[in-house]
Structure 1
Amino acid sequence: MNVSTNYLIIFSLMILEGIGFPIPSEVIMPYTGYYSRTGNMDLFLGIIVGTLGSLVGSIIDYYIAFKLGLPFLKRYGKLFRLTSKRLDRLNGWFKKYGNYAVFGFRFVPEIRALISFPAGLAAMNIFNFLILTFLGHLIWDSTLAILGYIYYYQIGFLITKLEQAAYYLVGAGVIIIIAILIIALFRSRK
């Protein structure tokens, strides 16, 4: 496989991950770091390509919700692993926390892709959506790729641990979101 094919594969898989298909970035991006360390690609370019793929997937979800609305999502949301209950919960969070939710949920496995739907339903400002989504994906993807780069000689072990740690990552994501919300609450009271 040539180098450009590696980038195309990363980009394509991360689009699917960004849409919400069960293709975890916790596997894709550490391998990006691994292949960078072995000289088969550039780490920085791999992170950017992966992040842009995630962003494209998130934009697709945003526009599906924005253009087709709630009835479509309630009827076909299962294609995106989006149940009615999850959609209602995400919409509630989004109404309360909007921008913070779009950024913060980018760090929560399994919910990261789904937050684009309430953003689209709420017709969130597209510029804000793009900036917050890009930054969230960039931080997440960079962290995973750098871990793969550092621990390239134990990549299988790293992937296994990342998959096992998904619950801890969800917990850490929730803690980060709560911290952001507390800060926002204090700032809004001032």
Structure 2
Amino acid sequence: MLGYVFKGLYGYALVFALMVLEGVSLPVPSEVVMPLVGYYASLGFIDPVLGLLLGTLGSLVGSLIDYYTAYYLGTPFLLRYGRLFGLDKNRLGSLSRWFSKYGAAAVFGFRFLPGFRALISFPAGLAGMRIVGFVVVTFLGHLIWDSILVYIGYAFATQWSIIIGLVDRYLYIIAVIAVIVIVIYIVMKLRMR
């Protein structure tokens, strides 16, 4: 059942949309989405190269949204609303210091650190990093990371089939639990403000 979601144009659109959400610091891990691209590619449901490129472009779009949010709205906006994305004053300060010290290398390097992958776009936008440089290092970082994840999903397809079988069996329960967790997460973040 879940496999048919990844089949055809809908599958590519889903990969792109999920990776945009991952790129804007929402709790949609690329560590789950991109191995699924590899797994479903091994079954012939999706082209691995096209899935990889669309996932990487989705991450890039999400990163650009974060970059421009910081660039145009600045520190006060991020301090006020950044907590919704796990970005508080201390984390923003640490990222900004790291960015000012390492610049483009920081943007590239952070693309390989789960939990910080999307957040580095904020200090890049605050610092006004040149957009061409930002796009190049962000795209390359995402492409390398996503390639590794797609390969893992493809290479370990037999292990994934066990997990996917369980997910298929309990898909509706998992979906309801996921929606509840996301709603609780957003409500908690809003209450902390």
Bin the TM-score by the shorter chain.
0.7 to 0.9
1:98 to 103, 124, 132: 103
Return the TM-score normalized by structure 1. Answer: 0.81
Deviations 1:7-36 (A, max 9, x none): 001100000000001111000000000010
Is 1:19 matched up with 2:24? yes
Equivalence for 1:145: 150
Tell me, in whole angstroms, the C-alpha distance in 1 between the residues paired with 2:139 and 2:59. 8
Residue type of the alignment partner of 2:109: G
Equivalence for 2:124: 119
The 3-state SS of whatever aligns with 2:100 is: helix
Tell me, in whole angstroms, the C-alpha distance in 1 between the residues paired with 2:32 and 2:12. 15
Tell me, in whole angstroms, the C-alpha distance in 1 between the residues paired with 2:112 and 2:11. 25
Change in Cα spacing, 1:157 to 1:95, as seen in structure 2 (3 Å) is: farther
The 3-state SS of whatever aligns with 2:103 is: helix
The 3-state SS of whatever aligns with 1:51 is: helix
Equivalence for 1:166: none
Return the TM-score normalized by structure 2. Answer: 0.80
Tell me, in whole angstroms, the C-alpha distance in 2 between the residues paired with 1:114 and 1:10. 20
2:159 to 131, 151, 154: 154
Deviations 1:23-61 (A, max 9, x none): 110000000000101000100000000000000000000
Residue type of the alignment partner of 2:59: S
Tell me, in whole angstroms, the C-alpha distance in 1 between the residues paired with 2:117 and 2:161. 24
The 3-state SS of whatever aligns with 1:107 is: coil
User: Over aligned residues, Cα RMSD in angstroms?
Assistant: 1.4
Tell me, in whole angstroms, the C-alpha distance in 1 between the residues paired with 2:94 and 2:109. 15
Q: Does structure 2 conserve the Cα–Cα contact (< 8 Å) formed by 1:47 and 1:142?
A: yes
Is 1:56 matched up with 2:61? yes
Residue type of the alignment partner of 1:147: I
- Length, aligned pairs only: 159
Gaps of 5+ in 2: 165-193
Tell me, in whole angstroms, the C-alpha distance in 2 between the residues paired with 1:47 and 1:13. 12
Shift of 1:155: 1.4
Task: State the 4+ residue runs in structure 1 displaced beyond 6 angstroms.
Answer: 156-159
Tell me, in whole angstroms, the C-alpha distance in 2 between the residues paired with 1:91 and 1:117. 8
Residue type of the alignment partner of 1:79: L
After TM superposition, the structure 1 = structure 2 runs for residues 1-190 of structure 1, keeping only pairs within 5 Å, are 1=4, 2-155=7-160
With 62-71 and 150-159 compared, the bigger mean Cα shift is at 150-159
Q: Does structure 2 conserve the Cα–Cα contact (< 8 Å) formed by 1:151 and 1:158?
A: no
Q: Does structure 2 conserve the Cα–Cα contact (< 8 Å) formed by 1:14 and 1:53?
A: yes
Gaps of 5+ in 1: 160-190
The 3-state SS of whatever aligns with 2:51 is: helix
Shift of 1:79: 1.7
